[in-house]
Amino acid sequence: MTTSSAPGKVYLFGEHAVVYGEPAVPCAIERRARVTVEERDDDRVRVEADELTLDGFTVMWGGESGDRPDVNVPTPLVEAAMGYIDNALEQARDAADAPDAGFDITVESDIPLGAGLGSSAAVVVAGIDAGTRELGVELDPIEIADRAYQVEYEVQDGQASRADTFCSAMGGVVRVQGDDCRRIEGVSNLPFVVGYDGGSGDTGELVAGVRKLKEEYEFAENTVESIGDIVRNGESALRNDDLEELGRLMDFNHGLLSALGVSGRTLDSMVWTAREADALGAKLTGAGGGGCIVALDRTEQTKTALEYTPGCEAAFRAELDTDGVRVESE
Ligand code: PMV
């Protein structure tokens, strides 16, 4: 039996623009998905999941009967979760040259699902690591990141950047531009606070909306390029450890994401709460629509203010996690 874990992430800068070749800077946070894998002596797969936004479910498939899920949670969510897990296991079988391996899987996660914190990437990265180790093979994190990206690409119909999967596998602060992924070393702690509205956005739909806007309006094209400029400015602020400047740039980034139509009432309301609580800056994180915002605040003020904000379901401090994927027990 092998358990591996991998962190979720927030986007400091650059979501959506990264889809069009601009750089993005995601940061791993100390909220993890843990996947436990035990090889079976048949070729079936049994999954038990205990996700924050799911009630928990057990699914079994494979073998001759090809059982379908008997669950008490919405089918699309389960199907999406199963798609990620199934493809991650396929990657593990491929890497270990064990095409018929069956598994018992347990997924535990303290990352809200579909809320811009990279929950699916964390499950896939941890699943590939645990699955391959269970089959006696150890992959380096770069290869895990690459295989996890293939999974997201497959499950999300090609609408995936390498940002989530690379960040989850490597940990820390990373820079992603197209296929060029690297860690940004030497960043000291970033005082993140996350506000979560309990909802989620449809990444595919939101990405398609921005693409359409870009095709129709030059301002949208320019907005995407301006987000790229913010990211480049942000990189030098990171190098200079200039938190005030980072916060200002996050505020700009949120404004431009709003202009592209991907914010939402609760996200905007949480961003304004953070600003009024004297956060250094705040923005939505991930695809948008609903889900999470991230603010930068050294004090407890933003977290406390968010806790009293209508529409905010949870607020928590999220320390930067310098560890990426790691084995918890073997
Ligand atoms: O909401 P998330 O964590 O899936 O992030 C989506 C980020 C986008 O830039 C909108 C799409 C992508 O794959 O980069």
**Cα 254 from Cα 262, distance rounded (Å):** 10
Q: Domain check: are 145 and 201 in the same one?
A: no
Q: What is the pTM of this model?
A: 0.91
Q: Would the pLDDT of 300 be above 70? A: yes
Q: Domain check: are 22 and 88 in the same one?
A: yes
Query: Mind listing the pLDDT tens digit for each residue in 66-108?
Result: 454 444 455 666 677 788 899 999 999 999 999 999 999 998 8
Q: Which residue of 161, 205, 254 sits with most ligand 1 atoms within 8 Å of its CB, as the best mutation to test the pocket?
A: 161
> What is the Å distance from ligand 1's center to 288 Cα?
9
Q: Domain check: are 218 and 264 in the same one?
A: yes
288 Cα nearest atom in ligand 1: 1
Return the residue whose CA atom lies nearest to atom 14 of ligand 1.
Answer: 161
Q: Is residue 330 part of a domain?
A: no
Q: Would the pLDDT of 117 be above 50? A: yes
- Beta strand 292-296 pairing with 192-196: antiparallel
Domain around 230: 192-317
Q: Which residue of 119, 181, 196, 203 sits with most ligand 1 atoms within 8 Å of its CB, as the best mutation to test the pocket?
A: 203
Query: Mind listing the pLDDT tens digit for each residue in 253-278?
Result: 999 999 999 999 999 999 999 999 99
Q: Domain check: are 66 and 179 in the same one?
A: yes
Residues with beta carbon inside 6 Å of ligand 1? 15-16, 18-19, 116, 118, 160-161, 163-164, 203, 207, 286-287
Q: Would the pLDDT of 52 be above 50? A: no
Q: How many domains does the chain have?
A: 2
Q: Domain check: are 118 and 196 in the same one?
A: no
Residues 105-122 have a mean pLDDT of: 88
Q: Domain check: are 208 and 161 in the same one?
A: no
Q: Would the pLDDT of 225 be above 60? A: yes
Residues 241-261 have a mean pLDDT of: 97
Q: What is the pLDDT of residue 63?
A: 46
DSSP codes of every residue in 262-325: ---HHHHHHHHHHHHTT-SEEEE-SS-SSSEEEEE-SSSHHHHHHHTSTT--EEEEE-B----S
Q: Which residue of 9, 10, 12, 15 sits with most ligand 1 atoms within 8 Å of its CB, as the best mutation to test the pocket?
A: 15
> What is the Å distance from ligand 1's center to 274 Cα?
22
Which of 60-64, 160-164, 168-172, 198-202 is predicted with the least confidence, judged by mean pLDDT? Answer: 60-64
Which of 77-86, 141-150, 176-185 is predicted with the least confidence, judged by mean pLDDT? Answer: 77-86
Q: What is the pLDDT of residue 80?
A: 73
Q: Domain check: are 137 and 245 in the same one?
A: no
Q: What is the pLDDT of residue 59?
A: 61
Q: What is the pLDDT of residue 14?
A: 97
For 93-122, give one letter per residue: b (16+ CB within 10 A) or e: bebbebeebbbbbbbbbbbbbbbbbbbbbb
Q: Is residue 263 part of a domain?
A: yes
**What whole-number percentage of the chain has pLDDT above 90?**
75
Q: Domain check: are 19 and 142 in the same one?
A: yes
Hey, is 57 helix, strand or coil?
Answer: strand
Residues 184-198 have a mean pLDDT of: 92
Q: How wide is the angle at C-alpha 164 spanned by C-alphas 145 and 285, nearest 5°?
A: 170
**Is residue 67 annotated as part of the catalytic site, yes or no?**
no
